Structure formats: C-alpha cells, structure tokens
Chains A and B, each alone.
Chain A
Amino acid sequence: MTRGGSIGSIGLLVAVVAGLEALSRTGRVSAFVMPPPSEILAAIPALVLHEGLGYATWLTFNTTFAATAAALLLGVPAGTLLARRRVLGQAYEPWLEAAFAAPIILLYPLFLIFFGRSLVTVAVMGFVVAVIPVIIKTREGIIGVRPVLHNLALSLHMTPLQSLTKIVLPAALPTIFVGLRLGLIYAMINIVAVEFLVGIGGLGFVVADMYDRYDIPSMYSAVVFVIVLSSLFFLLIERGERWLRPV
C-alpha cells in the first residue's frame, strides 16, 4: 500500500468510528443495539481481566496453528501426489474446487457427533477448511514448475526424492505459501465460528458468552477485539509472505 493509501484508509476508519459515535450518542441508534465505540473500546480491559480474553486469544491462535500445521502436513503430500498422478489429480480437482467454495462450517454437527463437544471438534473444523487450499495450491504450484527445471533434475541424475526436495517443492513454494495463507485465514474464521456456535474454546466462545448474558457492549468489544487481532495477524502473514518469496 502507498503512504497516501494508508493515510486514506486510516482516515476512513476514523470517520466511520466518529460517525458511529455520533449516531449512538445522539440517540439516533439505540445504545442497546449499537453502543458508542468509545464504550466498546473501554470495555476491552475488563474483558481481558475478568473474562479471560487473553487466554481465549491464546487458545484460538493455538487451535488455528495446530489445525493449519496438520493441514500442511497432510495437504502438501496430497497435493504432490495429485500433481504427480495426473489422472488422479484431474479426477479430484472438480471436487476440491467445489469443497473450496462450499460452506463446510455447516458440517459441524457431524463433527460434534464424532468428536463430542470438545476442542478436537473445533480443531478438526479448522483443519478441514485449511487443508483444501493447501492441497489445491500445492498441486497448482507443482504442475506450474517449468519443464526446464525437470530436465535439469534429470540431467544432474537426481533421484525422485532429490528432485522433489531440491527442485520441485522449492520452485512451488511461493504458490504453496498462498495456499498456506488461505488455509490460515479459513481455519481462523471457521474456528472462531465453531467456538461461537458450540460455545467452547477461545474468542468465539467469549463473544457467545457475552451475547448470552446480554452484555452488548462487552460482546461488541470482543467482536472488535477479534477483528482487529485477526486483521493484524493477516497483515503480518502477508508481510512474511512477501519477505519469504524468493523471486
């Protein structure tokens, strides 16, 4: 983003927050539906101190990382296999694309039956949505490796494993990283959503809890906290991705 762009975005945010504040304070919008932003922000420390928001954050992020790590561990080999076995890949591709677009979160009752009302269910829901982009992007990255690099591997007498680890995977890495980023985002969104729906775990649970107690300012605080935190997190990932990108 350019400097002008970032100043613009921040300006926009300030304007919207100021607008909401005015609407709420003048009573045009009921404070029960939409408390003034200043109150929402002021409620955050209490959430951290008394409602375990810090622990909830820690829990949600850990669940997200665990789910995404599992997605990488399974998704990269699966994507590699689908790229190598062309027919298999072509058979699976439409299903993967469909699954990628589907609201898999709706399957949560099924996982509840399998794993009970536990963190495992939450993590598995994160894994299921994260693994799909990882598989798709790994396959795409590997298929996109230029033929000359395969010829290089052959002419240097690499074993298939050497060719995979020294040429193919590094060449596909930037694309795999896109899959990883999408996986992290999807895992996080789904994990918070399942926490909210099932009422266990981290940040989603805190939001649900505040809602159940009709503590609307606190609920908004928790929501704002989640949004700000995840935005920062993904900004960080994007930075990291640009920094890691070899070319």
Chain B
Amino acid sequence: MKQSPDDFQLVRAFQSGDEKAFEELIKRYQRQVANIIYLTLGNRHAVEDLTQEVFIRAFRSLLRFEFDASFYSWLYRITVNLCIDEIRRRRIKRTFSLEFFSEERMSEGEKPSKKIPTPADALLESEKKDIVASALQKLRPPHRSVLILREYEDLTYEEIAQTLRISVQAVKSRIFRAREEMRTLLKEYFQERT
C-alpha cells in the first residue's frame, strides 16, 4: 500500500486553509503524476505543463474531497482524465492539421511521420525500453491507463477500480487484454531476445 498516513492530514490542513499543505502534496506526488502522463501520452512534450494542470484541477476540487478513497487514487483519476482530454485534443489537432495544412507542412519539411516505429525498427534506433513504450502507445487509451497504473504505480486491482470508477472484473479483463496485445505487438522483440 502506498497510502501514507499523512495524506489525509495534509488534505485536512488544506481544507482548513493551509496552502503549504497542498505544496507538500505536490512534492509527494509530482513525479508519479508526471510519469503517468508521460507513459500515457508517449512523449515528453508538455509533461511539466500538464502535471501542473493536474494540480490546478486538484486544488480546485480538493475542498470537496470526502475521504472515501485514498488521496492518490483521487489524484490519479484527475491525471487519467486529463490525459484522455489531451489525447482527444491532440487527435483533433492532428486531424485538423493533416486535412487542412498537409501541403504547407510538407513544404516546410515538417510532415509528421505517420509511421510508428515497429519493435524491430525501434530496436535499431533506440534503447530497448523504447520498444515497450511505443507498443504501449498502440493500446486503446482505457487499456493503456489500466496497464500503466498496474505496472508503473503497482496499484492493486481494487485500487485501480476505485481510481477509474470501474469494476474489479473490468480491471482484470482490461489488464489481461492489454498484456496480450502487448505480447502480440512485441512478438518480434521477444523472438530476438530468445
């Protein structure tokens, strides 16, 4: 369990008007929030800004926190929701720029690469850990989030269910499917290793 006994005390202090308590909560969870964002979105671009945005959203709703879940599962829900918003926003932006500005972009020599590196390509051009990260990006966002909370944050099925407000059964099946998909995506990589 990651629940520090002091999280609730800090939240109570914040609710009584102590803003420094909130800064302590930021210090405690900034790294985890940043990495969940990074793993979910797949690049470092704007990770710091988005991490800040998570804490802004948290600040705005922490007064209504009811102590019915751990602070971190509440915070990770905000993080996952923000990532989903961001994925949607980037998808719209990408669709828009591809449809309307593709020619200008090409002329400027910054045509976005539609090709996501295959495991074999990635193995040549980057470290092995990048292969896993790029496979992760191919998962559907709901499967991706569940796997990240499990593998990176070591949350239990129960905690993930609480964080994402889904059933434990749904968590179990999403993790299983995410892993099976990852195995298929990383087939070549695993074959090369054996």
Q: Is the pairing of A and B real?
A: no
Name A residues whose Cβ lies closer than 8 Å to a Cβ of B: none
